[in-house]
Structures are given as C-alpha cells and as structure tokens.
A and B are shown apart, each in its own frame.
Chain A
Amino acid sequence: DVKVTQSSRYLVKRTGEKVFLECVQDMDHENMFWYRQDPGLGLRLIYFSYDVKMKEKGDIPEGYSVSREKKERFSLILESASTNQTSMYLCASSLPTGVAVGNEQFFGPGTRLTVL
C-alpha cells in the first residue's frame, strides 16, 4: 500500500529555532512536494523536487529551504522559525507529470507546527 510518512504529527517550537520536517515515501516516486495549509487559504506550495538533489521554488518559498539527498526523503527546513510559520505542513509525492494516468499526489498525515 502506498505510504507517505512525516516525522512528527505535532511540533511546538520557539521563535528563532531551526526546524526540520522530514518526509519519507515508499513508492519510488520521482516528485515530492511540501505544502502548508491555512484556513481560508487552502494548500500553498512551498517547494517541490522532481529528482534527487533537484528543487524548485513554489509559491511561498520565503523563510524555507529543502533538501533531497535520497529519492525517498524530502526535508523541509525552517532556518529561523517565526510565528507566522505556524501552520499545517503537508508532504506529498507523485509520479512524474508526463505519466498520463496515475500521477495523482499522495499525502502524508501532516505536521501541525506551532511557533511560540
């Protein structure tokens, strides 16, 4: 069965801390994504990666960085957490977009991050 896992379900950090969110998928997917979801704003793409060591900025990359050293793992890093980064963070993976069928995204359970 398809599986995307995230390192934490709930996380509380202080302003200025460095935060690592880990995501692992077991489907051998090329594409991986990080989103944040806030009430009324829907899912917003932070970064995505379509191959190992490759990364592309999404719509809201400011204040975030990512790392993809292995195909199955995609990490989101908050270099210096701020209160406006309190949110639900969702990781997803998918097959390449050139695949005609079956390229839907599969999501992890999410990490609810609170920055105090």
Chain B
Amino acid sequence: RKEVEQDPGPFNVPEGATVAFNCTYSNSASQSFFWYRQDCRKEPKLLMSVYSSGNEDGRFTAQLNRASQYISLLIRDSKLSDSATYLCVVNPGNQFYFGTGTSLTVIP
C-alpha cells in the first residue's frame, strides 16, 4: 500500500469555481502534513501546512481528519494562476512522503 494516495485528476474547472482535493495516508503516526504546489517544470513550493484544527489562507483551506487519515485542500474562487499540480505531503518521521499530485487547470 502506498504511503500517500492522491487522485491525479486532471481537474478542469472554470474561473471562479470551488474545487477540492483529497489525499489519504497510511501511517497513523504521521505528525506533519503539507500541501505543495508545483508549476510545470519547476520545483515544488510550499502552499500551506495543515494543522489539526484546520487552517485557512485567503482562498485556500486545508483540513486534516486523523480518524479517517485524510487531508484536504479547498480552493475557492479559482483563478487562472491557480493552474498547477498540487502535491500532498505527509511526514511520519525522518522521511516525507509525497502523493503523485493532482493536476488543476482553471479555464477562462
């Protein structure tokens, strides 16, 4: 079983739409969780950390459900500039485990 499972998409949504990504993880001892954004042919960059109580940063909301072992990312009012691949990352110890990424394209 993979450490992190993520729907690869692609998600094609119109501007202004709300879109949600989910990610499940297998190691219940995981302590840290993140969402990264990766643009084409660029390195991944931290979008936001995911805290137990859930957290919001502008149009982005991240949530953690420890009981079901999944994390989610909600993007509201999608912009063209949100088009990218979104990676969920789980850190149970010394290593970081990455999902394969979900591709998002926001259409004018």
Residues of A within 8 A of B (CB): 31, 33, 40-43, 45, 48, 50, 56, 58, 90, 92, 94, 97, 100-101, 103-110
Top 6 nearest A-B pairs (CB, nearest first) are: A42-B100, A107-B43, A43-B98, A104-B46, A110-B43, A42-B98
Q: How far is the CB of B52 from chain A (nearest CB, A)?
A: 11
Q: B8-48 interface mask toward A, CB cutoff 8 Å, 1 = contact, 0 = none?
A: 10000000000000000000000110100000001111100
Q: How far is the CA of A42 from the CA of B99 in the complex (A)?
A: 7
A-side contacts of B34, CB under 8 Å: 104
CB contact under 8 A between A56 and B100, given known A97-B32, A110-B43: no
Chain B interface SS verdict (over half): loop
- B58 touches A (CB below 8 Å): no
Task: State which residues 44-98 of B face A: CB under 8 Å.
Answer: 44-46, 49, 87, 89, 91, 93-96, 98
- Say whether A109 contacts B98, CB under 8 Å: no
Q: How far is the CA of A47 from the CA of B43 in the complex (A)?
A: 18
Q: How far is the CA of A31 from the CA of B44 in the complex (A)?
A: 17
- Say whether B96 contacts A42, CB under 8 Å: no
- Say whether B32 contacts A103, CB under 8 Å: yes
- Say whether B94 contacts A56, CB under 8 Å: yes
Pick the residue among B42, B46, B95 that contacts A45 (CB under 8 A): B95
- Say whether A105 contacts B96, CB under 8 Å: yes
Please name 18 further chain A to chain B contacts, defined as beta carbons within 8 Å, in addition to the given A104-B34, A106-B46, sorted by A numbering. Answer: A33-B96, A40-B8, A41-B100, A42-B87, A42-B98, A42-B100, A42-B101, A48-B95, A90-B44, A100-B31, A104-B46, A105-B46, A105-B96, A107-B44, A107-B45, A109-B42, A109-B43, A110-B42
19 contacts between A and B (CB under 8 A): A31-B94, A33-B96, A40-B100, A41-B100, A42-B98, A42-B99, A43-B98, A48-B95, A92-B96, A100-B31, A101-B49, A103-B91, A104-B32, A104-B46, A105-B96, A106-B46, A107-B43, A107-B44, A110-B42
